[in-house]
Amino acid sequence: MMNLNQIHILIVSAIIVLLSSISCSNANKTNSYNSSTVVLVHVLFRHGERTPGKYDLWKSNPYYNESYYKPYGYGQLTNDGKERMYNVGVELRERYADFLGTDWDIGVTDAYTTNSNRTKMSISLVLAGLFPPSGSLVWKSDLSWQPIPYNYLPAEQDKELSSWACSTVLPLIYNTSSTAERLKAYDGLIKTLSEGTGEEVDYISALYLYFGLRIQEQLGLPLENWTQAIYPEPFKSYIIDFYYIETSTAPLKKVIAGYFLKKILNDSQRKINGTLEPSDRKIYLYSGHETNLGTVIGALEILTLNDIPPYGSYLAFEVHNIDNVYGLKIYYQTHENDDPTLLTLPGCQEFCPFDDFAKLLSNIIPQSDSECDGVKMKYSGTVPIILLITIILLSSKVSSRTVKKTRSYNTDTLVLAHVLFRHGDRTPSTAGLWNSNPYYNESYYKPYGYAQLTNDGKRRMYNVGLELRKRYDEFLGKTWEIGVLDAWSTNYNRTKMSTSLVLAGLYPPNSCLIWKKDLAWQPIPYNYLPVPDDRELSSWACPTVVPLIYNTSSTAERLSAYDGLIKTLSEGTGRDLDYIDALDLYFGMLIQSQLGFPLQNWTEAIYPEPLKTYIIDFYYIETSTQALKKVIAGYLVKKIISDTQKKINGTLTPENRKLFLYSAHETNLGTVIAALELTNLTEIPGYGSYLTFEVHNIDNVYGIKIFFQNYESEDPILLTLPGCQEFCPFDDFVNLTADIIPLSDSECTG
C-alpha cells in the first residue's frame, strides 16, 4: 500500500496535470496592424509557464522533491507554458503577416535563446506558431509543424542574453555605494528568508526564491506560514526594484543590457545600410527570462514597472522607414490589453529617428569586451555557489527512400544507448558548387536555400525517429521526460533540424503531455557547441588535424594517388582545389544529379567514379594513424565510454538518462567506423544512416553492442570490434580502444 506521502505526491501531480490541461489565458490577438513601413523587427520575450527549479526552492520545503513536478521535472515548461508560447507565435504571425510573408525562409528569421531548456522550448513553440508550414514547405500533411533551428551560446559567453555572463556585474552591484545602499533596505527581507529556509540567502539568491514561492502558489501547493511576512510583498517589490538597481548606473547598464542593445543597433544599422546578411532578414527573435525584459526596460528608462514581466510578455523593437526617415518604435506586450503598448524613449518621440536613438543610447553601449572583462566568470567570494551553479545550468524533387521500420527488438538487457546519425536529404552548399556551374545560383534551390534540409530530408529524419521509437519503445517508455535523453547536434541548420525531426518522431506527445489536441508535436530541446569547441562532432575543430593529414608521410602518399582527380576538378571548376575541397564537390554533384540538374560534360571523367571512391577512402586516410584517430573520432568515443562508465557506476546525472543522440554528417559515421575498424565501407553512409552503441547488462556483465543502419537491409547490422565479440564486455571495449582515446586537450590544440 502507498503511504500518505506517496498519496500526497500523486494528488499534487494530478493537480499539476489538471492545471496544465486547462487552457491558459490565451495571448490576446492583436488587432489588424499596418506593417507597410516596417523593415526589421527585434522581439525579446520571456519564456512560458514553468515548474520551479531546484534552486528556486529550499531543502526543508515540503514540496522540494522533484516528484511533485512530474511529468515535467525541475524548472521545465508546462503544458500551459507551451500553449502560451505557441500563441505568442500566432500573435506575432497576425501582427506581421504582411511583412513576413506566408512561407518561412531560412534567411528571414534568426532565433536566439539562452542556454536553458525552457527558453529553447519556448522559442521552438513561438516559431511553430509564427511559421506553420505552407505551400511547398508542407512536408507531412497531417502535421502542421516544421523544424526551424535556433541558436544560443554557452551562458558564460552570452553577453547579450545572460545577465551574469560578465565578471564585472557583481562588483559593480556590490561595490557601488548607491546600489549597496538601495540593497541594504531589503536586509530585513533577506534575514526572514534565511531564517525561514534555514539556508544562507543573499541579495542574489533571493531572486530565485521568489519565483519558487510564486510557482508553488500557482500550482496550488500551500506555502509555509513564515512566508506570509514577506510574500507576495515586500518580496515582489524587491524583484521589480532589482531590475532598476542593477541598471542604476551607466557601467551597469552597459554590462547588463548594453550588449543586447548594441546588437539591435548594429543589426538595424546594417539593414538600413543594405549590408545585413542575409539581405532578406526580417525578424530577430530572442527567447529569454523576465530579467531580460526588466533590465532592458530599466536600462532604457522607458517604463516604471508595477509588475514583473509575465510569462510570454515581449518587447518589440520595430525599425520603420517613414517618409524616408529610418527610426524605431518600441512596443511592450504583457497581454493586459489586446495590443502591445507603444513606449517612448526619454528624449525622443514614439517614432524615434535612428540617429537620435543611437545617440541617446551611446552612454550605455559598451565599446569593447573589456567592459565585460572577457566574460571569464570570475566571481568574488561573496557570491553564493547557488548562483554559479544556476548560471551554468542556464548556461523536394528528390525521390526519398522510405526508412524501413526495424522488427521487434528485445531490449530487456539494455541500460543505455548512444545513437550517432547523419542528417537528412539537403540542397548543395556553395562549397559544393562552382561559379561556372549553370546551377550555382541559390534560386535553383528555393524554397530551401543553400545546404538546407529538403522536405524529403524532413520526412526521412522523422522516420528515423519512428524507427528508433519502435526499436526502443519498451526501453524508453511512452512519455518524454527531460532527463531521459540528451540530444546533441553540430552547429548546422540541417543537423539541428534533423535533431528536431528525430525527436518529433521518437517522442510524439502522449497522455498528460498533449498540450494541443490538433498538433501531434511537442518541443524537445537540443544542444550544440560552436564548431571550434566541438571536438566530439566537428572533424576540423582540432588545429592539429590538417597538419597530421598533410605532413604524415603515409597519408601524404595515399593522397598523392588522387592528384589526377584533383587536377581534373581544379580545371573543370576553375578553382584552385586541394584534397579537402574535393570532398564538398562530390556532394554538390550528387545532389545536383538527384535534383535532375544535368552535370557538365567534364564531370563524366570523375563522377561518380573515382570521386566516390576517394570520399570513402578519405575516411580511412584521416584515421590511418593513432594520432589522427584520436583527434578525428577519439573525443566522441571518449565521451561514449565516459557516459557509459558513469551509467554502470550509477553516477550518471540525471540518473534516468537512457539515450544520447548525436546529429551529424556522413563523415562522422565514416570516420568512427574507420577509427574502430568495424567494417570496410563500400558506400558513403546515406542520409539518415546511424550507428548505435548499445550498453547491455547480460548475466551481470556490462558490455557494448554496435549496430550500423545504412538501410541496405531491414534491420541494423551488428558489427564487431576487432579483438572482441559482438557483445563486447565493457572493460575489453575500453582496453581495445585505449590507443585512440585522447588523454588531454593538447592533442587537439597542439
CA distance 499 to 232: 42
C-alpha distances (whole Å) from 670 to each of 497, 531, 615, 683 are 21, 19, 10, 10
User: How many Cβ atoms from other residues are within 10 Å of residue 362's Cβ?
Assistant: 10
Q: What is the DSSP string of 621-648?
A: HTTSSHHHHIIIIIHHHHHHHHHHHHHH
Dihedral angle of Cα 87, 89, 95, 101, to the nearest 10 degrees: -140
Which grid coordinates belong to 102? 506566408
494: phi then psi, degrees, rounded to nearest 5: -70, -30
Query: Does residue 474 have an active-site annotation?
Result: no
Catalytic-role residue among 47, 289, 423, 665: 47
CA distance 173 to 157: 20
CA distance 737 to 729: 12
Query: Does residue 336 have an active-site annotation?
Result: no
Q: Does an H or E element contain 492, and which?
A: none
Cβ atoms of 68 and 45 within 8 Å: the answer is no
**Which is nearest to 539 in space by CA: 478, 436, 618, 463?**
618
User: Which residue in the block uniquely carries the three cell numbers 550555382?
Assistant: 440
CA distance 157 to 366: 16
Catalytic-role residue among 156, 160, 290, 318: 290
CA distance 307 to 318: 24
Residue 659's contacts (CB-CB under 8 Å, 6 or more residues apart) are 416, 417, 418, 419, 472, 476, 484, 485, 486
Peptide bond into 278 cis (omega under 30): yes
What are the catalytic residues? Answer: 47, 290
